[in-house]
Amino acid sequence: MKRKFNYTGRKKIPLENIKIILQRKNDLVESFSAEINVKDLELPEDAIVFIETYFRTELLAFNFGTVKKIEAPDKTDLSHMGFSEHMRFRVIITDSKGLILAMADKVKPVNEKNSNCILPIKSTDLGNQIWELDFSDEMDGPVLMLNKKINGIQNFAISNNQFVISVFPAILREIFMKIVFIDNIDDPEEPQTEWHKKWIDFSKNTLKIESQLELNRDDNDFESEKVTDWIDNVVEKFTDSITSKNWRSFIKEMTGEDST
């Protein structure tokens, strides 16, 4: 059993302890309110609570007082923010010097679509490509981009087993290659990045891959062939599932979309 170290000393605020509600006017996002419960985290009473709202180029921060007295500022105006329909929230609790004591990231407003899927799907301009994986959101992980010029592609991609068997194995392979060889994760049992963890959990819990992904980077004993064998195994297990009745549930778990 490997020992785990939390070098940052930072506590995680459980997502269920945070409730963000968007206020709208004429259907447009205008402001937000928040309820935050950090009583059980044993944080200093004078620690400062901030809420950041962000998406892509946009970032706004609001001071919500201290752990002892969490209260919204006079204004939580979001009406001037771009991409306001897509924004996410981050609760950050710091000491007076800016050291993060506790944090919760990627919080979605409670009245918006809230999905735990690991491979969201979007339609976009892809030139002449049919699909592409977008890894540009460093914290959220891959997004399956589909060419919006193809009518009905989003539904077809998750419900047509010919498409699924042709494309999804390549998707899985690309994602795990990215996790291991590009992002260079050290510890597959407890990856630092949340989306890495979700995909490794998917291999274990959903695809029932029994063999461990062993990296041993510290031991100078890294065998890339073993790792690619492990990835082959994941892909094969998924491909096998397509011939069974399971594949629709796997697709739903990955994409959050119902393919039936």
Amino acid at 178: K
In whole angstroms, the minimum distance from the beta carbon of 192 to another protein comes to 8
In whole angstroms, the minimum distance from the beta carbon of 18 to another protein comes to 17
Region of residue 205 (phi > 0: left; psi between -120 and 50: alpha; otherwise: beta): alpha
The residue (of 81 and 167) whose beta carbon lies closer to another protein is 81
Give the residue from 23, 15, 19, 82 showing the smallest Cα distance to 55.
82
In whole angstroms, the minimum distance from the beta carbon of 2 to another protein comes to 20
C-beta pairs of 222-230 under 8 Å, 24+ apart in sequence: 224/181, 227/180, 227/181
The binding site for another protein (CB under 8 A) comprises: 8, 10, 50, 52, 54, 56-59, 61, 79-84, 92, 94, 98-100, 122, 124-125, 127-128, 134-139, 143, 145, 149, 192
In whole angstroms, the minimum distance from the beta carbon of 237 to another protein comes to 29
Cβ contact 175:203 at 8 Å: no
The residue (of 138 and 218) whose beta carbon lies closer to another protein is 138
Cβ contact 141:182 at 8 Å: no
Give the residue from 151, 141, 170 showing the smallest Cα distance to 256.
141
The residue (of 69 and 148) whose beta carbon lies closer to another protein is 148
Q: Beta strands 143-147 and 121-124: pairing type?
A: parallel
The residue (of 145 and 209) whose beta carbon lies closer to another protein is 145
The residue (of 129 and 205) whose beta carbon lies closer to another protein is 129
Q: Beta strands 28-36 and 18-25: pairing type?
A: antiparallel
In whole angstroms, the minimum distance from the beta carbon of 248 to another protein comes to 27
The residue (of 241 and 255) whose beta carbon lies closer to another protein is 255
In whole angstroms, the minimum distance from the beta carbon of 56 to another protein comes to 5
